[in-house]
Structure 1
Amino acid sequence: MGAVWAVSTVTMLVLAGILPDFRLQSADGDSATRIGITAAVGAGVFGILSALVWPLVVRALLLVPALVLGLLAFALNGSLLTLALWLIPDGRGTAAPETAVLVAAVMSAVASATGTALAVRDDNAYRRRLYRLSDRRRRRAQPVPATSGTVFLQLDGVGHDVLASAVARGLLPTVARWLGHGTAPATHRLTPWRTDWSSQTGASQLGILHGTTYDIPAFRWYEKERRQVMVSNRPASAAELQRRAVRRTGNAGLLADDGASRGNLFSGGAGQVALVLSVSARRERGQRSRSGYFAYFSDPANAVRTAMSFVAEVLREMVQSTRSRLRGDTPRVGRAGLYPFVRAFATVVERDVVVAAVMGDMLAGRTSVYADLVAYDEVAHHSGPTGPDADQVLARLDRSLALIEKVADHAPRPYRIVLLSDHGQSPGETFRSRYGLTLADLVRAGCGLPVPRRARRTPSGAEARAAVRAALHRPVEEGPADEVRPRRSEPVVLASGNLGLVSFPDVPHRMTREEIDRRHPALLTTLAAHPGIGFLLVRSEEHGAVVLGAGQALPLAEADRPGGPLEPFGPGAAEAVRRTDGFPHTADIMINSACSPETGEIHAFEEQIGSHGGLGGAQSHPFLLSPLSLPDPAPSDGSDLTGAEQVHAVLRGWLEAASPGRPAVSRPQPR
């Protein structure tokens, strides 16, 4: 503490000599000794206020949106410095408001760097420093077990091939060392796994943490009996999905035994949660969604450092998007508006808070921790899964992994670090950009409903309208340009990456192919024949599940044969579609975009050039990177690890084998 105080004092003296609006002496002038004493008093008072007042202010601001909280760090820190200068006797300390903000930021950064530099020389001091980054509300009454704890770190959206390529190109030196690239022996193994048809975080993370992906047909879907759209990343939907999962499996989740859940959609049954969407509406002490922010921002040095990184990331995104536009990169989507701030939150604030919470969990000796780092997924949606933007994010994530690994050396129990992803990302031009109309436009045209003028002018829109006229033997209904009159019988069209869902809300059951054809004779033909659509799934009264492609209508059991609609989507596609067909809330029409077998490119029905949610390309192939000390996660018969439910069985087996008195779970078998 003395060294930090001394460095802070010198920093204040230097800034007072540089900045004209910052003064540490009386109007008549003071001796060098007096100025030094004034600086020491100011630095000391500022340090005390930062330690005592700052946490109270941050706790009071937990109701402020997280984006605003990070930006307020500068103003709050400057206010504390102004108060510290005001407390110096005889009015010797003064600073203009804007200067106080600058001085406070510099002093906090210097104090943080000094404290860290000194702490790394002493294990006990280093641990104390890291504790300030953690949630200190937990105090263990019992000794920490000597058995190994497990930290599961999810790199959201990083596919198996993306990880392997990044390691080979030197972007992930920590992961490369774990895999034995170089002189050190390997400590981990890399195992690919395959998602279900719904290749997105809502389904995968629910399966990994709660053991079931049942009735999760997409990221968003319409439930007819409730007349409600479910969206995986809405708090109410996430809470309902978690309740359904617990009811179906009969257990609280992967993390129920002394676990912590950080930055996830679901809690996994953890007793310690921070930034978990499914419990974000709770108000119990220790269960508030913003508690993780308080644990991190209660240290003013963290707040300043993260706020500065936040601003830098906003500027970086603006420069990168401008450069991409000037180069004429294709495909490309809009990256203006609030997106730079959303990206900065995902890549800076969420990363810093979650990593700090994980470090605190390890130092507290918790048995299991599961944390989601969403930075890559957010950037890849708008910049593409590969390229310099995504590479920079991966490199920064590797540094976070290295920090967590170092903390494990100071934890009160040994820790095994497991790295995994929930899905990959597939590149490709969006459906709207490629064909000039949205999926909803195409569905409406196939139903003979009004469509916006921009869609009618496109080749796809004109073809759809011609098909309707031919099928109905009458003109398609016209309407004012860009105006759609909602009707009860009109379809609900939803998009989840390159997976589309069409539901007719006025029909209480899942409509059959025959019912759809009677109501809208041209719809299924229009959709199946479109070059941007790979296949449709519908139910037939006569044949059961049927897959429709261009000029084809095959029972699901035959759809993956050579030349069939599912062949371009590779092994396992038919099984994934069959499983989804059995869900209660599968849409009347399930639509998967086309996929190029050569490039793996797809056409997202959302405005994303890196997307996931359906079948096709790298999105269905995440990874599991596990220590060699753990059993091999691959199924015993040599088949692929398939589905998040199998991944859950693997992770649960590892945790139970590490707990005394608990039997290990057998290896997962094919579904």
Structure 2
Amino acid sequence: MADAGVSLATTTVGLAAAIAVVSGVRTSSPLAVLLTAVVVAVGALVVAPLLRPVARFGGAGAALLSGIGAQLAVAWAALAYVPGMHVESGWSVVQVLVLTGLVMAAGRWLWAGPGNGYVVDGVVRRARRAASAAGRPADDPDRPAGLLVVQLDGVAAPVLEQAMEAGLAPTMQRWVVDGSHRLEPWWARLPATTPASQAGLLYGDSSTIPAFRWWDRELGRLVVANHPADAAAIEAGLDGRDGLLADGGVAVSTMFSGDAPTGFLVMSRTGRRRGLGPGQGYLRFFTSPFVLVRALTVTVGEMAKELYQARRQREHGVHPRVSRGGWYVPLRALTNVLLRDLITSIVAEALARGVPTVFVDLVDYDEVAHHAGPTRPEALRALEGLDGVLGTLERVLAWAPRRYRVVVLSDHGQSLGATYEQVEGRSLLDTVRELMAEPDAPGVTSAGGEDFGPLTMLLTRLVGPPRRGGAVAGPDRQAVTSASSAGPPEVVVTGSGNLGLVWFPRHGARLTLEDLQELYPGLVAGLAGRPGVGVVVVDTRDRGLVAVGEAGVRLLEPVRAGSSALVDGTDPVLGLGPRAAEDLARAGRLPCTGDLMVVSAVTASGHVHAFEGQVGSHGGLGGAQSWPFLLHPVEWEVDEADRTDVAGRRVLVGAELVHAHLVRWARSAGVRR
């Protein structure tokens, strides 16, 4: 009741302020404004069920359009027919909605600080009423079990620990201090990218994913993991695995479905009909009074904040840094506000319905850290916002029909550093072509399209024909188009953070070191000697995979090499971090990996050099990118036999083992069969 009173009060204040400003709306008494706020709130509750058939058959797009239409209709009716109110036009109604949302967003920020708790206010009230009707108290311990897994994309374990100490992650810190949860790192194997780690987390298998993007010789084109058609093809290869979300789970904002019967904003399903998920799941967000308007208002504010923060970096001479203009400004706002609020609403609805397992990926921190740096103030503030989402969902958990255990984890970390192009003065593709002695060789490069994933997903669903894979936005689109225009290029170079892969597609199979020495005699040694390069991995005819550095060579598969010495000269993997040799050997045998696999140089402080335009990156080795975290209930123990010694710590190695524990925990709690 108190929540409803606060919500009504803030709505009334917002309406009063908007009516005072908009010339096309007048009122004769404060009581009329209060009554208008009541009508708007009740009208939304009445209209939402009537729109369910529209959303069920029309999907997310129909839910959006009908929800906005319902908001306008309810607001117009309230302003036109409540005694003491007068409105002149529909445009005046739109102005009132926008200004009310702006006032309410500003008021919440001044009163309670940043947060999106308003998104779940209605869900919490409904869940509380349902619990009361069932005679179930808050936090009832006798409820059946449930599992909520929240992925904080790109957050390294040491960064989360730093945020906790700085008071920027109070929700997670409270769980650890109170003793309900345990925080520990795990090791993300090469490639330390979202598609590989998420395939491992959801299916227990990442063996078909060599990077974020790669050349497929059989298909004769570039594969990009966050393109809907490619994500669907990758997931098809994972069929038959033990999907984490089988048995009635829900996937929200993920790359793959994890065998969930229901998915919202799932990339691998976006090319299908209603690929954004059941339209009913969006109705609460789109029809709630001022929720969508407030989200849009704060989205505009996020754009202004990004412009200010980017300018601040330039004026203060912060280094390393990259350009933060262009498409990134609206993309950050879309991801960090509008989509985050929508995702929070969808997850809250699933929890209130009692879905047995929910897996959601929140990408806010990862997006900001790529452009600002992993430990820069704006990145840590983004992490603070994600911790706020956890606090928001806690309000729903108390009244949900299941007693949810919450696991929070990340898929990888990020490492800081100047880009390869900033160090070398040219791209990796241009470096390779020069060392081939063919500077004009037809080539394709692809990097930097990760930010466009959410936009690609929405465009594909709205305008892209599913049979052709849908629409694609961002730099990767141009690379794919170039690669398929007139036969295979002579050389393809892709960057996944500081992991670079190089192919020579006009040759039907992977080239060995001996082949490359005959074709391009100065290529491998010249590439390994570049200041921005740490190691080059290449296959050989007789000795298996080798890692080539500026002053030495290391055999990565000594069993195949027989009696040969393990290292000749200076070991090139020294300085790349723990498990470098093991990770390079595994990654070098993944299908579709490059003829050459390049990892950038790693400085003594753990800085790396991304082969794309990112000051914070992941995908290769070095720094904190290989150290994601796992925050799990203390009663769910990690099997000691599954741990491995890494840099003096006993940790799980690989997302596959994290998946195995999630499934084991879910079954022990009765969430999974």
Q: Same fold (TM over 0.5)?
A: yes
Change in CA separation of 1:624 and 1:368 when aligned onto 2, cut-off 3 Å? same
In the alignment, which residue of structure 2 is the partner of 1:334?
323
Structure 2: distance between partners of 1:256 and 1:75: 36
Contact 1:198 1:218 in 2 (8 A): yes
1:394 is matched with which residue: 362, 383, 389? 383
Structure 2: distance between partners of 1:573 and 1:651: 27
For structure 2, which runs of at least 5 residues remain unmatched after alignment?
A: 130-140, 442-481, 559-565, 646-650
Contact 2:71 2:289 in 1 (8 A): yes
Is the counterpart of residue 550 in structure 1 residue 543 in structure 2? no
In the alignment, which residue of structure 1 is the partner of 2:124?
127
Change in CA separation of 1:371 and 1:145 when aligned onto 2, cut-off 3 Å? farther
1:225 is matched with which residue: 218, 224, 230? 218
What amino acid is the match of 1:646? Answer: L
Contact 2:201 2:658 in 1 (8 A): yes
What amino acid is the match of 2:664? Answer: G
Is the counterpart of residue 524 in structure 1 residue 514 in structure 2? no
Structure 2: distance between partners of 1:585 and 1:13: 58
The correspondence of residues 126-275 of structure 1 with structure 2, limited to 5 A, is: 127-129=124-126, 146-180=143-177, 185-246=178-239, 250-251=240-241, 253-275=243-265
Give CA-to-partner distance per residue, 1:25-56, whole Å, 9 cap, x none: 6xxxxxx6xx5786577556544654556785
Q: CA deviation at 1:124?
A: 12
Q: CA deviation at 1:635?
A: 3.7
The SS at the match of 1:330 is coil
- Which of these two proteins has the greater Rg computed from alpha carbons? 1
In the alignment, which residue of structure 1 is the partner of 2:594?
587
Identity among equivalent positions (%) equals: 37
Structure 2: distance between partners of 1:422 and 1:273: 19
What amino acid is the match of 2:206? Answer: T
Change in CA separation of 1:315 and 1:551 when aligned onto 2, cut-off 3 Å? same
Structure 2: distance between partners of 1:16 and 1:551: 70
Structure 1: distance between partners of 2:22 and 2:121: 41
The SS at the match of 1:310 is helix
In the alignment, which residue of structure 2 is the partner of 1:310?
299
Change in CA separation of 1:277 and 1:253 when aligned onto 2, cut-off 3 Å? same
In the alignment, which residue of structure 1 is the partner of 2:469?
none
Contact 1:275 1:289 in 2 (8 A): no
The SS at the match of 2:421 is helix
Change in CA separation of 1:530 and 1:3 when aligned onto 2, cut-off 3 Å? closer
2:666 is matched with which residue: 640, 655, 669? 655
Give CA-to-partner distance per residue, 1:199-238, whole Å, 9 cap, x none: 0100000010011011211110101011021111111111
In the alignment, which residue of structure 2 is the partner of 1:577?
584
In the alignment, which residue of structure 2 is the partner of 1:501?
501
Deviates more, 1:489-498 or 1:423-432: 489-498
Give CA-to-partner distance per residue, 1:341-386, whole Å, 9 cap, x none: 1111121122212222222222222221111110000000000001
Change in CA separation of 1:629 and 1:512 when aligned onto 2, cut-off 3 Å? same
Is the counterpart of residue 615 in structure 1 residue 621 in structure 2? yes
The SS at the match of 2:406 is strand
Q: CA deviation at 1:251?
A: 3.1
Contact 2:554 2:568 in 1 (8 A): no
RMSD over aligned Cα, in angstroms?
A: 3.8
Structure 2: distance between partners of 1:9 and 1:275: 30
Q: CA deviation at 1:451?
A: 5.4
The SS at the match of 1:342 is helix
Q: CA deviation at 1:450?
A: 2.5
The SS at the match of 2:186 is strand
Structure 2: distance between partners of 1:82 and 1:339: 36
Q: CA deviation at 1:269?
A: 0.6
For structure 1, which runs of at least 5 residues remain unmatched after alignment?
A: 26-31, 133-143, 453-482, 663-671
In the alignment, which residue of structure 1 is the partner of 2:372?
383
Structure 2: distance between partners of 1:146 and 1:366: 13
Q: CA deviation at 1:392?
A: 1.1
Is the counterpart of residue 81 in structure 1 residue 75 in structure 2? yes
1:21 is matched with which residue: 20, 23, 37? 23
Structure 1: distance between partners of 2:244 and 2:370: 29
Q: CA deviation at 1:554?
A: 2.7
In the alignment, which residue of structure 1 is the partner of 2:490?
490
Contact 2:492 2:502 in 1 (8 A): yes
Change in CA separation of 1:635 and 1:300 when aligned onto 2, cut-off 3 Å? farther
Structure 2: distance between partners of 1:576 and 1:16: 59
Give CA-to-partner distance per residue, 1:219-270, whole Å, 9 cap, x none: 1010101102111111111111111012xxx235111012111111011111
Structure 1: distance between partners of 2:499 and 2:243: 28
Q: CA deviation at 1:298?
A: 2.8
What amino acid is the match of 2:533? Answer: I
Structure 2: distance between partners of 1:80 and 1:163: 44
1:604 is matched with which residue: 600, 610, 617? 610
The SS at the match of 2:191 is coil
Q: CA deviation at 1:618?
A: 0.7
What amino acid is the match of 1:190? Answer: L
What amino acid is the match of 2:160? Answer: L
Change in CA separation of 1:388 and 1:291 when aligned onto 2, cut-off 3 Å? farther
In the alignment, which residue of structure 1 is the partner of 2:355?
366
Contact 1:557 1:574 in 2 (8 A): no
Structure 1: distance between partners of 2:634 and 2:68: 45
Structure 2: distance between partners of 1:491 and 1:282: 33
Q: What TM-score results when the alignment is normalised by the length of structure 2?
A: 0.79
In the alignment, which residue of structure 2 is the partner of 1:278?
268
Q: CA deviation at 1:539?
A: 0.8
What amino acid is the match of 1:204? Answer: S
Structure 2: distance between partners of 1:637 and 1:539: 30
Structure 1: distance between partners of 2:578 and 2:638: 22
What amino acid is the match of 1:21? Answer: S
What amino acid is the match of 2:201? Answer: I
Q: What TM-score results when the alignment is normalised by the length of structure 1?
A: 0.80
Structure 2: distance between partners of 1:392 and 1:660: 34
Is the counterpart of residue 643 in structure 1 residue 649 in structure 2? no
In the alignment, which residue of structure 2 is the partner of 1:625?
631
The SS at the match of 1:179 is helix
